[in-house]
Structures are given as structure tokens and as C-alpha cells.
Amino acid sequence: MESKGKYYITTPIYYPSSNLHIGHTYCTVMADAMARFKRLSGYDVHFLTGTDEHGLKIQQIAEKEGVTPQEYVDRIVAGVKDLWKTMEISYDDFIRTTEERHVSRVQQIFNKMNEKGDIYKSEYEGWYCTPCESFWTESQLVDGCCPDCGRKVEKAHEEAYFFRLSKYQDRILDLFENNPDFLKPDTRRHEMIEFVKQGLEDLCISRSTFDWGIQVPIDPKHVIYVWLDALTNYITALGYPDDPEEFNHYWPADVHLVGKEIVRFHSIIWPAMLMSLDVPLPKQVLGHGWLLIDGGKMSKSKGNVVDPVVLINRYGIDALKYFLLREYTFGQDGVFTNEVMLKRMNFDLANDLGNLVSRTAAMIEKYCGGIVPPATTEDDIDRELKTLAVGVAPKVEADMNRFAFNNALENIWTLVRRANKYIDEKTPWILAKDEARKAELDTCMHNLAESLRIIAILIYPYMHTTTEKINEQMGITGEILWENAMTFDLLDGNRVNRGEPIFPRLDIEKELKELDDLRKAAAPEPENIPLELKPTIEFDDFAKLDLRVGEIISAEKHPKADKLLVFQVKMGTETRQIISGVAKDYKPEEMVGKKMVVVANLKPRMLRGLESHGMFLFAQDGERTQPVETTAASGSAVE
């Protein structure tokens, strides 16, 4: 087949801080389906994934485990590669940021940016969030904490190298405004435009307080700060800058597929770095949503991490991939539950597709001696099925070009369901009783086999093992060609080999219980495992706090900060103003009337031009912060 051109797709490079879970799997499964789809449609595909191995967090975990950072990441990365092998992820290259090819190229990139005049040394003073490995400016903090994870930040003050991100502000804004497809979905694009308009600050790109990183080539005391190290993987893996041949063949990337929280790095910082290098920009950045559990993020400490290997072992790769691609809408968050997954597997896979294969194979064996007969008759129902069958592929193509995996599969399942209904309408068991209707019966069997042949091609990018199983049962051999999904009547005289059901029916109640038991066994309920706490304090330290009950009498949005709400709070005889960063979780009216615990003797401070006098206590419970409430009278002391 003549190539339609190149297609370069990437996933984020994952942090090997612990084993990957179903959330990471989700992104890689989407990239894999797209890579397979583009290969099948005739593109020269390059699919890159990998691991982001440097940084303080990895160094700290390794220290805790008593191994070197390299030993630690080697172990986790072996597990990541095993997972992708089990899932038959069809990547063309896997880059580790600790590989020599990456290290030396990142250093060359640093030098190039430096020669361009885009790097300078200065003094860094800012707030650093260790878990997120991010520096924040004072104005970005929410209630003095990291705006991403809500955890405590530390003042960092040190010599560092900076990248002149601010220099590229206007060009980045132009990029968003003139090229609406560069970043999708549009909601993310609007967010980013707002972010850039607030002004881009230069980016700190080196650290000298830890050493697990790539050395700054002009200053060995420094290591390159993770995002310059991480983002450049997309070009170092292709040989930039010293191997232009492969680089020029595949670059620019057609799409960087990334989770929503790292869209900012990919759509602002990464293009600016490329502008500095005079390298063309990627064509598109796509931000996908998260898979949530019980409304919140998966986390080890909550014991709610879903291990893809457990699901694959029980239900197979194809069932899991089908579920992930069919259930969730690209760009939006989705809730993962075992029940929804099992129902999808039962209804769509066992009932719809599995049954169609079993019924068709069984009937061709029974009525036609196992040989697919030719079709010599045609009525309206036959025509309708045929028209539908050959028309699915163009719809799937259109869906895939929008990364609408769920719609692509829904379109394919329209045919699966239509074919099942076709059996019921044609009632082959009645045709079989009447010798005079043998031709109609043959046509029915032929059309079903043809429909399955087309379905097997259509599902190939998402579930290639199932394609192979269907083809085996239908006696179909030869190369899988996309264009054959748009033609009817290619089968003639195939020998059908009826096999096992391709998707056995699941007993949902039983599975739910067993999955729950497995989860408990893998992550025993944390029984009295000490929490990781801040250093112990003296009673006198605690006694300095004056905690009081404050009743919110009014609430409104902060006029200058989207994340902040401004409250008027009654505490006994006094009414005062308190500002809190909960606008993303609560509407102002939801907060009015709440009686909450307030740190009442906290020094007042200005937040974006308004004074905040005191601080509410919130419990950081997953995605949504929960107010610490009480029914006691306003002004009462909390001790």
C-alpha cells in the first residue's frame, strides 16, 4: 500500500516513582489504538513512549528504599515495559531519560538555547512543591499551598539557570489564537490563553540542591530541572540535534497526547523551547481527562489504585482496552467502577459481538456444511445490512480524526447490533425448513459472514486479538486491509471453524466480589500504619493557635482571582473578612451558613488586593476539599 505520509504520536513519559495504574494505562491504550489505526490506514507511524526518571522525588524514594536512584528506576521501568508487553502496546521506541542518547542530546539542547541568549544565571527565590517538582510564585499559591496538589510549599532560594520564557509570550499567544487546532479540547485552549495573558515568567531550568539529573554542561554544580529534561524526550528520541535524518523524517509530531494537568507544560513551555531552538512546533497537543475512583484521584494511600494486570488476567487485554476506549469521552474526566466495566464487557462483548460470532459460525456449520456460501438473492433487509456495513469505516475514520474513540466503537457496534437483529428478522431456522428458500438462507449466511469480516477489520486498531479470533472462526486469512472494510462480497467458499465463545459471559455479582477480595489482598486495609507527619511540636506551640468557630454570613467571588472566595465571617461579636482558595470546589452560595473552624489569630495578609484575616480549616479529601464544620456557637473556642 502506498504510504499516506508519516504520523508521529507520543504519550507522556511516565514517572517511574511507583508501578503504573489504570490511569496511565488509559493514555497509552488511546495512543496505541491511534497508532494502530493510522498504520492500518496506510501511514508510516512512529509511536513513542518512555519514562521520566530524574528529579528530587525519585532520589528521595530511592534513598528511602536504600538503593541508588538508578537501581530504583531500573526496577520500576522493567515493570513498565512488562506491562506494555503484556498489553501488546505497539510502540516503536521507548525512551528513558537516563539513557546516554537522551542525556547527551539534552546537554546539546541546553548549549543551543544558551548560545541563542535564552538562558541566564540568576538567583531563584520562590516556593517549591517537592511532590509536584514545581516552583510557584507567591501569587500562584492558594492559601499558601501548592495550587496543583494543595500541599505545603517551601521557600527556595538559590542560584539557578533560567530560560527566557517571557520572551516568547507573544508568539505563544499568537500560536493559540491563529491555530485553534494546536490545543484541544477548546476548554483547555481557553484556559491556556488566560494563563499566558496573565504574563509568563521566566522558567527555572536548573537545580543545585540535589544531583539526580542531567548535568548542566556549562556548570557541573547544577542539574537540569525536570521539565527541560522531560519535554525534550520527544525530539532526542528522534536523534535531535545530531542525527537529522530520522529527526527530519518524523518531526514535527502529529500529536502529543497528554493528561489535562500537564497541558500547560506541553502547550506553552514546550513550544517556547522549540521556538528557541528554531525547531518547528508539534502539530497538536491533546489533553485528556482523568479516570477517577469514588470521585477522586487514585492513590496508594487510599488503597484504591486499580491494577490493570489484575483485570487483564481475568478478562483479557481486548476486553479491558475495549472498555477504556468505549466508556470514556476524550477530554473529560470519567469515573472508573468495576460494575460499569463488567456490564460493558457482558453487554457489548459477550452478548453483542460474542453471540454474533457464535451464532454465525454455528449456523454456517449447521446449514451450509461449514462453507460460506455465495449470495444469489437480495431483498431490502439484505441491502440495508450491506449498505450499513460498508459505510461504517468512513464514519470510524472521521471519529478517529477527532480522537473520539467512544464514537468510533459505537459506530462499529451499530453494525454488530444490526447484524444480530438481521438474524432475528431473517429467521434462518425457518428458512432452513423450506428447501425452496435455500438461496435466501445462503444469502443470509453469506451476509453475516461478510459483516463479521468487516467488523473484524474495523475493530483491529482496538482489539487485534479479537480480530484474529473472528478471522480464525470465519476461515479468513490474508492481510488485514482497511479498504476491505468498505467492500462487501469478498468471501466465497471459506471454511468456518467454530470455536470457543470469544467473550464468555461474566457473573457480575461473583466478579464484583472477587475483584474486591483481590483488591483487599493486594492493598490490605491500612491498619494502624503511622501517617507521614510533619515534625512533632510542643504543647506550647499548639497553645499559640487560637481556633474559633466562625459562621459564614456572606460569600462572593474574589474580583481578581478565579481560585479565591471572599467570606464575611461572624465570630461572636466580631465580623471579619477571610479569603480562601476553594472557588474550584464550592460556589459562594454553598458556603453561606456554614459554621467552620477558623485559625483566628493568624496575622492578616493581603490576597490579590483584599485583606484576609484568619484561615478556615479544610480537610484535603481527594478531589474536593471538605470544610471542617461544627454546630457550636460562633465565636466559641476550639481546643
Interface residues with ligand MSP (CB under 6 A) are 12-15, 23-24, 26-27, 52, 230-231, 233, 258-259, 261-262, 290-291, 297-298
Residue 296 CB, shortest distance to ligand MSP, in Å, is: 10
Residue 86 CB, shortest distance to ligand MSP, in Å, is: 18
Given CA atoms 306, 312, 314, 315 in this order, what sign does their dihedral have?
positive
Residue 483 CB, shortest distance to ligand MSP, in Å, is: 34
Q: 481-499 burial, b if ≥16 CB within 10 A, otherwise e?
A: ebebbeebeebeebebebe
- Count Cβ atoms below 10 Å from residue 232 Cβ, excluding itself: 24
Q: Toward ligand MSP, which CB reaches closer, 122 or 620? A: 620
Q: Toward ligand MSP, which CB reaches closer, 32 or 143? A: 32
What is the β-pairing status of strands 255-259 and 154-163?
Answer: unpaired
Q: Toward ligand MSP, which CB reaches closer, 290 or 488? A: 290
- Count Cβ atoms below 10 Å from residue 51 Cβ, excluding itself: 23
Residue 132 CB, shortest distance to ligand MSP, in Å, is: 9
State the Cα torsion 177-183-249-115 to the nearest 10°: 60
Joined together, the cell numbers standing for residue 606 give 493581603
Residue 233 CB, shortest distance to ligand MSP, in Å, is: 6
Give how far the C-alpha of residue 618 lies from the chain's centroid of Cα atoms, to the nearest Å: 28
DSSP string, 379-422: -HHHHHHHHHHHHHHHHHHHHHHTT-HHHHHHHHHHHHHHHHHH
Task: Return all residues near 404 (Cβ < 8 A) that are at least 6 apart.
Answer: 329, 330
Residue 291 CB, shortest distance to ligand MSP, in Å, is: 4
Q: Toward ligand MSP, which CB reaches closer, 297 or 314? A: 297
Q: Toward ligand MSP, which CB reaches closer, 27 or 56? A: 27
Q: Toward ligand MSP, which CB reaches closer, 24 or 453? A: 24
Q: Indicate the residue type of 633.
A: A
Q: Toward ligand MSP, which CB reaches closer, 196 or 273? A: 273
Q: Toward ligand MSP, which CB reaches closer, 73 or 230? A: 230
Cα–Cα dist 138/200, whole Å? 14
- Paired residues of 9 in beta bridges: 47, 255
User: Is the Cβ–Cβ distance between 286 and 255 less than 8 Å?
Assistant: yes
Residue 438 CB, shortest distance to ligand MSP, in Å, is: 54
Cα–Cα dist 328/30, whole Å? 11
**Cα–Cα distance list, 91 to 5, 87, 466 (Å):** 18, 11, 20
User: Which H or E element spans position 541?
Assistant: helix 539-543
Residue with grid cell 438481521, as numbered in its chain: 422
**Cα–Cα distance list, 331 to 115, 162, 183 (Å):** 38, 32, 11
Q: Toward ligand MSP, which CB reaches closer, 24 or 96? A: 24
Residue 52 CB, shortest distance to ligand MSP, in Å, is: 3
Q: Which residue is nearest to ligand MSP (CB)?
A: 259
Residue 535 CB, shortest distance to ligand MSP, in Å, is: 28
User: Which H or E element spans position 469?
Assistant: helix 464-474
Q: Toward ligand MSP, which CB reaches closer, 13 or 224? A: 13
Residue 263 CB, shortest distance to ligand MSP, in Å, is: 9
Residue 551 CB, shortest distance to ligand MSP, in Å, is: 37
Q: Indicate the residue type of 627.
A: P
Q: Toward ligand MSP, which CB reaches closer, 292 or 610? A: 292
Q: What is the CA radius of gyration of the chain?
A: 29
Task: Return all residues near 472 (Cβ < 8 A) that are at least 6 apart.
Answer: 497, 499
